Structure 1
């Protein structure tokens, strides 16, 4: 019977149905064929979204959009240009630096690619950078976003597993910085080799003014992160504080927000949040069916039957998640696979916080993996460059991302050091 569920799901995906609808239709057809009362559908969907911490997702989405529409993106880019624009390939380095700073606001890779790419890709092309390189840098650096806190996928992972959101946020900080620094080094090497342009060194006054312009935005990330870690407020309360803070800064400090823009942001956030909640509801139903059919047990036996060495298990899981992340949106893949694979990881004594960061990084790298990496499509569309050229230019960055993934997999302390230091039992 489980074959019916999977076949219908794949057919719906091939017919380009949204993933939420693909999950819902496949679940409904399975339940009908199985003779199960369809009342189970709304029950399981509601139980999937009836989680207090999920209320933080609309808040963080609204806060990110408020800061972005409030002029944050352009100020971050300007600050990064002042800071490192004088280095060879300075604009490309500023692109990555902007993604690292913007990460704490957006929390999603696709929004990072679209927001920063719409400014940086045309600017890099105008300055003489190869268009495919500009697109590749933008797409790859956007993967830092969901790793550096706060992060929407991390909140989803915490909801699915009962892990601490604060610990996950802390666990992502060092891997995110490591990934960003690795990309900066690679970009500098390529820029030096290709003799890409650099700007005149900015004065200390210009750098300081750029920092002041971005200070209020960066302060929001600090408030959110340390408020949660310090137990001052919950992630849900933090998201509401972030919305209020972003509105006040965008309106009275940056003076870029008005009633019309704010209402448009709220409507857009409502649509995004509603689609996410529907996806989570259907994914919970899908997961319930998989568990009832003992699919997680079978997958666990299959992986552990191959080897019970935790590094071999992690290698197999890495390969599976990279493959899935290439073809499926991050949150959807997380909802379907994370609870199943977490049980496998726990059975071979892998720390759940460590595993959560590994799983997230795998799925996020999948967003820049050909042939269906979503961030590659977004960057390609902005830069008006064929996807094949962008994919080829992205290969060095893909290699760096895999290297960082290997380091994080083999050395758990990269992820666990900060959670143990600040929130250890």
Structure 2
């Protein structure tokens, strides 16, 4: 079984030569966004003179960055997709399914280009408040990005497919689309059944075919609107724009870049070495070091994959020497990354705050505590499993070694507490803190950790653009799909049903845990959040559940699902990083997932764990 991983994964990929100018523009736009935000922070906090047009200029650059980054991600095959089921298809049929998936992507894009043009034309009549320019300049990024993505998708299909497969895929899509159009009068009478047909079955089928998640949501929403409603497609484009354009989301590419800086400078490894010098001599000490390192490193990078790729190579050789089985190490690595995903600056928490309207400062404060609860339950299990650990020749590190590793790691250790303290204390927003953190990390990396070569820095900018574009396109299409769900009235019916469940709020919590664990397995955290938050959070509020408490429960549930085989994407990424067969590691991870589930039930049952410190 395999999983195609996004740009946040281990090795940078290079795109086609045709995309080199686009990559350069995207890298420049990322620098522009960072520069604008830093200028705004300096002006506001140092000069006490806010610049009113900064947010608008950053928003324009951000949308262009997102759309060009999405195109780069298609070119590099870095959009997140599920390949578990396509791997089960016989070799003879797999090539056709891959061609069909590419043509589905091209079809979705092509269907959106004209509505996007109409949307831009409508937006062009509006004038921005601060810059006093047409809003169409910003919205035109959507048309440009879609057109570029269509060209790339078609080029890939032509290059990678036989003529027979290509013609067959086009004919099949045309037949299905034509049949659906002829059946539109029937679909118009089916009511909620259309949700099952288009937003569940069609999306699930595309996921199984290996279509990238963003385009699975896009096709489901497109078909639902086109064949079962009279809503114009321009509305879908508007919802996608809204889903990608929140100012809070400006911090996403900045924190992704921060994770790249962390890896490139070795700041994460410095933290790991310090933890090893402190705890490496005790029973289960290396397991504690792995968990503690994930906890601290996550507070800098905000990326699970970056965390695992930083920690595993530094610790696995010594853990093997001490008798740890590779499958147990992968299990601890995967669940440790799931544990650390609520540690600020969690991108999932930032997106959740944006979508559900929850205070990011409160989420950061609570997430820190919740991660400590989960850290404790995993540490207890690791200690119990360490009974056979080989401690021969293991000695406490001399004090001078501990002191020297602390001096090296100290500047890096400051970062997670700086981020959490500034956001949690209301000193600055997550977006402002992200820019400060990147500047701090780059300066410290250059001065103390050997710097970053210009070529490496450029590749980091391009990788950040590609990953950010992939993430934001998922958010855009998931937002459109969530809107389609709520407009049917289904959300209200679900709210009535869930509110009347026996057992009150805790039964609703248990149902939510199951729902988000399943979604975490299939969709990964961000799309699941955007899709379900508008539906589930109002129900939680109606039952008197604090929004921060509910946030911690659903994010933890999703992370458990993300690491749960045989579908969980994160599990396969952990296996790839640790170079261990998924089949070998699959049996070992269940006790660790069980420990996380115990921690999750405690978090769900005891609201004070999430909200006592707010």
Q: Matched residue of 2:362: which SS?
A: helix
Q: CA deviation at 1:100?
A: 1.2
Paired with 2:249 and 2:336, the residues of 1 have a C-alpha distance of 27
Q: Does 1:79 align with 2:274?
A: yes
Q: Per-residue deviation at 1:308?
A: 5.8
Q: Secondary structure at the match of 1:236?
A: helix
Contact 1:106/1:145 (CA < 8 Å) preserved in 2?
no
> What's 1:173 paired with?
368
1:156 to 2:368 alignment: no
Partner residue of 2:436 out of 241, 257, 260: 241
TM alignment of 1:60-209, pairs within 5 A: 60-191=255-386, 193-197=387-391, 199-209=394-404
Q: Does 2:226 correspond to 1:32?
A: yes
Q: Is the 8 A contact 1:107 1:145 kept in 2?
A: no
Give 1:202 deviation, angstroms: 0.5
Structure 2: distance between partners of 1:382 and 1:56: 26
Per the normalisation by structure 1, the TM-score is: 0.94
- The question of whether the paired residues in 2 share the 8 Å contact of 1:136 and 1:393 is answered with yes
| Structure ID, larger Rg | 2
Runs of 4+ in structure 1 displaced over 6 angstroms? Answer: none
Which residue in 2 is equivalent to 1:423?
A: none
Q: How does 1:48-67 map to 2 (within 5 A)?
A: 48-67=243-262
Q: For the aligned residues, what is the CA RMSD? A: 1.7
Q: Deviations over 1:59-115 (max 9, x none)?
A: 111112112211022212211110111012322221112111111012232332233
* Whole-Å separation in 1 of the counterparts to 2:313 and 2:481: 36
Deviation at 1:280, TM superposition (A): 1.0
- Shift of residue 196 of structure 1? 3.4
Aligned residues: 418
Note the alpha carbon deviations across 1:261-296, whole angstroms, 9 max, x for none: 211111111111111111111111111100111121
d(CA) in 1 for partners of 2:529, 2:331? 25
1:201 shift after superposition: 0.4
Question: Alpha-carbon deviations, 1:362-416, whole Å to 9, x = none?
Answer: 1011122121222321222233433233122112211110111111111111111
What SS is found at the alignment partner of 2:428? coil
> What is the SS of the residue equivalent to 1:146?
helix
TM-score (norm 2): 0.66
Larger relative contact order (Cα-Cα within 8 Å, sequence gap ≥ 6): 1
Q: Structure 1 regions of 5+ residues with no counterpart? A: 420-425
1:384–1:151 CA distance, 2 compared to 1 (3 A): closer
Unmatched runs of 5 consecutive residues or more in structure 2: 1-193
Shift in Å, 1:203: 1.4
Is residue 341 from structure 1 mapped to residue 545 from structure 2 by the alignment? Answer: no
Secondary structure at 1:121's aligned position in 2? helix
Q: 1:203 to 1:388 in 2, by over 3 A?
A: same
Deviates more, 1:194-203 or 1:405-414: 194-203
**Aligned-partner SS, 2:601:** helix
CA distance in structure 2 between the aligned counterparts of 1:70 and 1:154, rounded to whole angstroms: 26
Whether the aligned pair in 1 keeps the contact of 2:283 and 2:391 (CA below 8 Å) is: yes
1:208-249 CA-partner distances (Å, limit 9, x unpaired):
221221111121222222222333221111111111111111
* Other-structure match for 1:12: 206
Q: Secondary structure at the match of 1:405?
A: helix
For residues 267-346 of structure 1, the aligned pairs below 5 Å read: 267-307=462-502, 309-346=504-541
CA distance in 1, matches of 2:450, 2:303: 25
Describe the SS at the equivalent of 1:393.
Answer: coil
1:408 matched to which residue of 2?
A: 603
Task: Find 1:2's aligned residue among 190, 195, 201.
Answer: 195
d(CA) in 2 for partners of 1:231 and 1:324?
A: 32
Residue of structure 2 in register with 1:44 after alignment: 239
| Native 8 Å contact 1:362 1:405 kept in 2 | yes
Distance 1:118 1:374 in 2: 20
2:586 is the counterpart of 1:391? yes
Query: Partner residue of 1:422?
Result: none
CA–CA distance in 2 between the matches of 1:284 and 1:379?
29
